[in-house]
Amino acid sequence: MNFYSDRTWMARRKSSTEIGATSEFRAGCQVFLEYAYNHPECVNDKNQIRCPCWKCKNNNYMDRDMVNYHLLVNGFMRNYEECWWAHGQKRDVGYTSKISSNSNTHRMDEMVHDIAGSNFDWEEAREQPMNFDAKAFLKLLEEGREPLWHGCIKHTKLSAVATLLNIKADHNMSHECF
């Protein structure tokens, strides 16, 4: 996995077939941590780096295991690509992210985390078999991440449906009209 050229794994933390973080995401986190810890300018005197999870947002220094845990549970902060310099990458590296422009995926993940609560143990849940409802829910989440059309990086099927339903509600449209 080339950390510079392919960061799409950062947006693939969840899947409809796995509980907790996907194996691709876990492997990517290990590559990220190796990279960050190989840059001494990013590590403080307590052997800690800034945590780029969506809760800490590069504000808190933590040790390697805690950063890994936060990333597995919370995922990367929104638009992480805009502040990757905090982990040893030069600002002028020509990388354009396709995932940063679609914040709807991140918002959906944030909603799921809000529902689960901060005390929810994602790793413990990962080890338990999924029931039918959980599989159906994860499948819906996965489908909600699909682009509206092939090559679309700004909108997902879920964002389009949500926008249409919002228009329907804002204009008090009847079911027949809509």
Query: CA–CA separation, 71 vs 51, rounded Å?
Result: 8
The H-or-E segment that residue 50 falls in is strand 49-50
pTM of the model: 0.48
Q: Which two tokens stand for residue 2?
A: 């080339």
Q: What is the pLDDT of residue 39?
A: 86
Angle between helix 157-170 and 103-116 (nearest 10): 80
Query: Does the pLDDT at position 77 exceed 70?
Result: yes
Residue-wise DSSP of 55-90: TTTT-SEE-HHHHHHHHHHH-BPTTGGGGGGGGT--
- Kindly report the number of other CB atoms within 10 A of residue 48's CB atom: 16
At 40-55, the pLDDT tens digits run 888 899 999 989 988 8
Query: CA–CA separation, 8 vs 161, rounded Å?
Result: 24
Grade residue 162 by pLDDT with cuts at 50, 70 and 90: confident
Q: What is the pLDDT of residue 89?
A: 58
